[in-house]
Amino acid sequence: MQHGGQPSAREVPGVNDQPNDMTELNETQAAHETGNTAPEPEAPPAGAESAPAEAESKSANMDWYILKVQSNREDSIRETLARRIKIAGLDCYFGDIIVPTEKVTDLKGGKRRVVKRKLYPGYLVVQMEITDDTWFLVRDTPGIGDFTGATGRPTPMLPHEVDAILAKKEEKEEKQPKLEIGFQAGDRVKIKEGTFESFEGEVESIDQANGQVTVMINIFGRSTPVTLEYWQIEKF
């Protein structure tokens, strides 16, 4: 107790018992200044913030259409169209672009070989959705004439036509292709190679599997059948 009857601060009840708010405030401020704050949640590693973007899905409104193109340029025009579609960013509106072909067996000089033959020379088949952008892109591609169909309006292919094209596209390599023989019974032909070269006759029958043709020719006044390889004869 000091003289004069006034108690000192240490004797005043509750002075030293009050919460030290100023001390806590000063500690918080010091922590911010020194960087000793509570750690914040770490950001995810670069590239892990979201799942990889999925490939752009294809349109559900695509149909199959036939395009008239320059003959003997079907493959190069197909490649040009595919490249332009990619550059324009319109992949989602296009599916397959097909040059319709079939495998046939060609027999020349006694040698058999399998070759591809165009089913529809001068045409492409394309799976796509018709929009203003896709319409103009196709029409503006060099070598492409127009869509087939009614004037000014492309006509989609019928389901059975599409099935036939796709069946040819997926034809297995090991499957024996049919032999391409350009004759039929009753045709008048001339033998161009072999023992009976220059003889003329009429096709009696065709062995499609073996590539042979039976021709009726006149020998010593008698009609006689001779069997030839199909490449040994020609129409006249």
Distance of CA 215 to the CA centre of its chain: 47
**Is residue 13, in this structure, part of any structural domain at all?**
no
Same domain, 193 and 157: no
Same domain, 84 and 159: yes
Q: Tell me how far apart the alpha carbons of residues 56 and 53 are, in angstroms, rounded to a whole number.
A: 9
pTM of the model: 0.52
Task: Give the per-residue pLDDT at 117.
Answer: 81
Which residues, 6+ apart, have CB-to-CB distance to 197 below 8 Å?
A: 191
Residue range of the domain that includes 145: 63-178
As a whole number of angstroms, the distance between CA 109 and CA 180 comes to: 15
Any domain includes 6: no
User: Which pLDDT value is given to residue 142?
Assistant: 95
Write out 161-210 in H/E/C secondary structure. HHHHHHHHHCCCCCCCCEECCCCCCCCEEEECCCCCCCCEEEEEEEECCC
User: Per the domain annotation, does 122 fall within a domain?
Assistant: yes
Q: Does residue 167 contact residue 125 with C-beta atoms inside 8 Å?
A: no
Structure confidence at residue 213 (pLDDT):
92
The amino acid that residue 37 corresponds to is: T
pLDDT at position 12: 40
Q: Please name which of 149, 133, 68, 147 lies closest in space to residue 94, comparing C-alpha atoms.
A: 133
Within this chain, do residues 148 and 229 fall inside the same structural domain, yes or no?
no
Of 178, 199, 217, the domain-final residue: 178
Indicate which CATH number applies to the domain containing 223: 2.30.30.30
* CATH number of the domain within which 91 lies: 3.30.70.940
- Contacts of 40 by beta carbon, 8 Å cutoff, 6+ apart: none
Counting as low any pLDDT under 50, the low residues of the chain are 1-4, 6-19, 22, 25, 31-32, 34, 38, 41, 44, 46-55, 173-174
| pLDDT tens, position by position, 59-93 | 899 999 999 999 889 999 999 999 999 999 999 99
191's CB contacts (< 8 A; 6+ apart) are: 197, 198, 199, 200, 201, 215, 217, 226, 228, 232, 233
User: Six-digit token pair at 11?
Assistant: 């004797």
Single out the residue of 115, 106, 103 nearest to residue 231, CA to CA. 106
113: which strand partners? 106
Tokens representing 210 are 């073996």
Do 76 and 94 belong together in one domain?
Answer: yes
Residue 33 lies in a domain: no
Residues 111 and 171 in one domain: yes
Provide the number of structural domains found in the chain.
2
